[in-house]
A = this chain, B = another copy of it.
Amino acid sequence: MKTQKQISIKQYRPSEGFISRYQKLIREVVIPYQYNVLCDRAEGSEKSHVVQNFINAAAALRGEDVGDGFYGMVFQDSDAAKWLEAVGYSLAVYPDPELEKTADSLIDIIAAAQDEDGYLNTYFTIKDRDKRWTNLLEGHELYCSGHFMEAAVSYYNGTGKDKLLKVMLKNAEHIYKHFITEKHEGYPGHPEVELALLKLYRATGEKHCLELAEHFINVRGENGGDFYKREKDLRDWTVWGNNAEDGFYQQSYAPVREQSDAVGHSVRAVYLYTAMADLASETDDEELLEACRRLWSSITDRRMYITGGIGSTGIGEAFTVDYDLPNDTAYAETCASCGLMFFASRMLESCLDGRYGDVMERAFYNTVLAGMQLDGKRFFYVNPLEVIPGISGIAATHWHDKPRRPEWFACACCPPNVARTIAAFGTYAYGEGDSTAYCHLYAAGEVDFSFGLKLRCETDFPYGFSVKYTVLQGAGTLAVRIPAWSEYTSATLNGGEISLRTEHGYIYVNVSEGDVLDIVLDDRARYVYSSSKAAENTGCAAIQRGALVYCFEGVDNGGDVLSLVLDDSKEIAVGETKSELGGASVLTVKGSRTAQTDSLYSFEKPEKIPVELTAVPYYTWGNRGENQMRVWLPY
């Protein structure tokens, strides 16, 4: 049973602050830019062809010859879906008739590409309709449907318009018929539709959606996941030559209830776990929830970077094994950290524990934000914790670890994922129970809770450490997460100090109209040490202040960070605010620089020259040209 649930998008109205500035960037730069990409109008980026694919698919349905009319990845459609989803979130809070008109037209184009029977996918509609549903392993049909379902719900919630919702209900019904009524075997190669069907179910009450989500989750991994092998034996074509027998890659090596280690493609993994957590609380499935807890622990206790990045290898963009967390060859895909937030948010609905919020915050303020250049125009897919120009992006093992954010890629999963996650930030930040208002993350703005409480939150987080909650209307319990990093926290209610006894990371305060709850969080910048089981970080420390993990870039440190050594016995000072880093505060620490030696190996201990080191928030790195970067420094 869900103890509390995410608020819906319209319940939160941001006020001026860190989040609203990011949402403004999404609205003013990212959404328009991404639309131009979808329409092949953006300069300098690779061809997308997304809109044209839909136009061609519609023509194909009318029987016209569109020849080789599909271009892009097999999951190219999903870019449009993620864009529409972000637009829905944005319109919910910032009405924009022009943007809405643009989105409506795109929805018309998409709707026209839906087959009479409800099928919707341009790759198969254009290329070969007979191949529909014959390659679940690689085909991404269910993945794309899932993203359109999410978009449909978002757009409906944001605008009240249900055209896309109807399209996707019809599509869901088509899928239901195929897999349930007609009993075709199989489940998605890339999980996504499961979590989307649950959203669609909640938005429409359509039971088939719930049933279908449950079905896909339950059949996954039956008989050791041999479905994909049998499926492959029946076809003579492939998209990428995926290994049908790699049950780890697609999380199908065992029924999901028996899984304990987070394995395989990290985005697939967290999308699946998100759906599992959602379904578990929706259906009171304690066995399923227990699997989610194990998988959560596997990720966050043993397989997660300090930045909230997950999936440490580029080989299969995947999880590897416990404590294998290389900094320089990390994959740590931006999308995977978005997915980790989704998983955390769903876990919170049945397990009220600050750890979920802590990880959500870590993932968002570090890896998710790092995914986007500060001007919203370039994007990291891969988020290493150490970058060395000359090696990173060049050596075969470091090919994926670019020293600079690329423009929109041919495979554009991450940019729209960042956009939709930022645009929907309020739904991760706030939740509600029967009479309790949950504040999982700090986000300035006003929230209308369904049980009648109106709350205002004022804060400059993550650079400001005081958070003020004012009850504008109504009464109830205010549950505020106190992050694990905040060792010294104080709270006052209407000026009078109150107890800070937390229950699983939350303080619970009964409030009514006019009450003011002030919380002051621990603003110290501190050294972080890693378990020595994580071999890459032995002898090293990192720096964290509040939610932000810091890093050292060459541009602030004489060009060379590899020679820097921290003196972790010294205090860390908060330094200047950098306008070129969007107003981020830098930190300065004492340390030394190891003198360069002529030879690769030497018996002479290299001299250490005392220096002051400057650190910047990890999410801001790579905004000032190519240079060395390191999160963990020897101390």
Contact = CB atoms under 8 A, between A and B. Distances in A.
A563 to B, nearest CB: 4
A399 to B, nearest CB: 9
Contacts of A316: 396
A320 B565 CA distance: 26
A324 B532 contact: no
Interface stretch (A123-131, A267-275, A593-601): A593-601
B563 A398 contact: no
A398 B601 contact: no
A314 to B, nearest CB: 8
A302 B326 CA distance: 22
How big is the A interface, by class? 35 or more
Contacts of A527: 603, 605
A304 B301 CA distance: 36
A489 interface: no
A524 to B, nearest CB: 9
A604 interface: yes
Interface in A593-635: 594, 596-597, 599-606, 633-635
A606 B539 CA distance: 11
Contacts of A304: 600
A474 to B, nearest CB: 38
A528 B606 CA distance: 10
Interface stretch (A8-16, A253-261, A384-392, A439-447): A384-392
A530 B563 contact: no
Contact of A320 (B395, B540, B600): B395
A397 interface: yes
B313 A396 contact: yes
Interface of A: 300-302, 304, 306, 313, 315-316, 318, 320-324, 326, 328-329, 386, 388, 390-391, 394-398, 485, 487, 526-535, 538-540, 542, 544, 560, 562-563, 565, 568, 594, 596-597, 599-606, 633-635
**Pairs A-B, 10 closest by C-beta atoms:** A539-B634, A532-B563, A320-B395, A315-B396, A532-B562, A324-B391, A539-B539, A532-B594, A324-B395, A526-B603
Given A313-B397, A529-B602, A539-B634, 12 more contacts: A313-B395, A315-B397, A320-B391, A321-B394, A323-B600, A329-B329, A487-B603, A527-B603, A528-B601, A529-B604, A529-B605, A531-B597
